[in-house]
Amino acid sequence: MTRKDFVGVPYATRSNTKEIVFIRHAESQANVDGLWHGRTDGPLSEAGEASLEALAKRMSRWRHDVVIASPLTRTRRTAEAITSDPVIDEDFIEMDVGRWEGLSFEETDRNHRDEMEAAFTDWDTPLGGTGETLNEVGRRAWGAVQKVLDRLGDGERAIVVTHGGFLQPILERHLPGRGRRVHPIASNTSITRLVFQWGRTRLATFNDTGHLGPRNRTVEYHLSQGTPVVALVRHGRTRANTEQRWQGRGDWPLDEEGMRQAELLGRWYGQHPTVYASPLKRAMSTAEKVALDGVTPVPGLQEMYMGDWEGLTTTEIHERWPQDMEAIYEYGVDLRRGTTGESWGELTARVSNTIAALDPAEGEPTVVVAHGGAIRSYIAGLTDTDDPFSESLHTPENTSVTHVALVPEGPVVLDFAVAAHLETDEA
C-alpha cells in the first residue's frame, strides 16, 4: 500500500506524526477585571499564579522537544512553569484589538457595539478600528503553526504557550460553526493538541484542564445555569484496538488495559446517576465504572456498522476491497462500509438523533458511553465542516471525556477528548 491509501483510514500507522500542544496562559489580572488586553502586558492573577503548580506537575510527565511562548508576561510566566528556557516567538502574541485595548468588555458592549458586530461579522474589518482583522489573525496563526511544524522532526512535539484570541482561528478550522461559535474560548492553562500527519492537522484534544479537575469552568458554568451537559465517554481499550481491527458492531470485551482505564476513569470522574451506553460489552463495562444507579443501554449509541469488514484489519480490507477503499478514502465517496454496513452520513444522523432523544440529568452531566467513530461523527455533525468523514478531528482516546452543552441555540462543544486520568511518565 502507498501513503495515499491510508489517508483518513482508521488505524493507519502513527509514524511520521508531529504534534503541537497549545496551552493558554494562566489567568491574568486583566482576565479577572474583565478587560480587553490584547498586546497590553500585565501580571497573572493570584489564582493564575496558584494554578501553575498543577500545570507544571502535569507537563513534567509530557515529553517535549521545544517550548515556545508569546513574549507577553502572562505567557512567559506560564511557560517558565514548564521549562526554564522557553523560546520566545512574537508570532504567537495575542491579537491586536486596537482602540478596545484596556477597555472593559462591558464598556465596549455599551459604547462600541456596532464596531464589534462589524469586526466579528466581516472578518476584514479591523478589531477596535485600528487593530488586526480576524482574517489577519488567522493568517498569522496558521503561518506560525506551519513554522513550528517545519522545525519539528517526525515524532516530535512542541509546546506553545499562547493566548485565547490567537487560538480562535486554529479552533475555527477544526470546529467551525454554522453562523455561530460552537465552542468556547479556551480556558486558562487549558491544553489543545494538534496532530499533524500526511499534510493535514487533526484536533486531538481541546480545552483540556484535567490537571485542575475532570470538569472545566465552562462545564461548571453551564451546569450552574441549568443547562443540560452531556459527557461523551469512549469505551476502554479492547484487543481489537491493539490489533487495529475494525470492530464496528463486533462485541469485543475490554482487555486488561481497558479494564484498568475504566477503573481510572471511575476514580477520576466519579459515579453519576444518569448513565447511558451502547449495549456492546466494551461500552457497558466502561459505563459501569461511572454509574451510580446502573446503566441504561441504548442501541442507537453503537459504533458504525462495518458490514463485511467487521473484525478485519485495514490491510485485509484494502486487499479485498481496493476499489471501495480508494473511492471512500481517496475521493471522499461516502459508501456503506463493507457493502452492507453504514455510511458515515448514516452514522452521524443516527448518533445525533439518539443523543437528542435522551432524557438529560439536571445539575450534573448526563454520561453517555459510546465509541470513537460515533463520538467523532456526533461532534463533527455539530459543526459546519465539509471535510469527508470528520478528518479534522482525531479519534478520541479510550476512556476520554468530551463535554457538550445543550443550549437553546444548539449544542456547544465545551472540551474534546480529555483523558488526564490515563497520563503516566510516558505521556
Q: Using one digit for the tens of pLDDT, what is the confidence trace for 363-402?
A: 999 999 999 999 999 999 999 988 888 989 999 999 999 9
Which one of 3.40.50.1240, 3.30.70.3000, 3.40.50.10860, 3.40.50.620 gives the CATH number of domain 3-211? 3.40.50.1240
Could you tell me the CATH superfamily of domain 215-422? Answer: Phosphoglycerate mutase-like (3.40.50.1240)
**349 class by beta-carbon count within 10 Å (0-12 exposed, 13-18 middle, 19+ buried):** middle
Give the per-residue pLDDT at 4: 41
Number of CB atoms found within 10 A of residue 149's CB:
16
Give the integer Cα–Cα distance in Å for 282 and 175: 28
Tell me the pLDDT tens digit for each residue of 63-107.
999 999 999 999 999 999 999 999 999 999 999 999 999 999 999
Q: What is the mean pLDDT of residues 40-62?
A: 97
Give the per-residue pLDDT at 387: 84
Of all residues in the chain, the percent with pLDDT exceeding 90 is 91
Give the per-residue pLDDT at 5: 40
DSSP letter for each residue of 151-186: HPPTT-EEEEEE-HHHHHHHHHHHS--SSS--SPPP
Low-confidence winner among 40-54, 368-382, 411-425 (lowest mean pLDDT): 411-425
- Global pTM value: 0.94
Q: Is the pLDDT of residue 11 over 50?
A: no
CA 38 to chain centre: 24
Average pLDDT, the chain: 94
Classify each residue of 157-167 as buried b or exposed e, where b means 16 or more C-beta atoms within 10 Å of its C-beta.
bbbbbbbbbbb
- Domain residue ranges of the chain, discontinuous segments joined by +: 3-211, 215-422
Q: Is the pLDDT of residue 16 over 90?
A: no
The larger pLDDT score, comparing residue 348 to residue 391, is at: 348
The larger pLDDT score, comparing residue 179 to residue 396, is at: 396
Q: Are 218 and 207 in contact (CB under 8 A)?
A: yes
The larger pLDDT score, comparing residue 388 to residue 308, is at: 308
Q: Is the pLDDT of residue 208 over 60?
A: yes
3-211 and 215-422 share one fold: yes
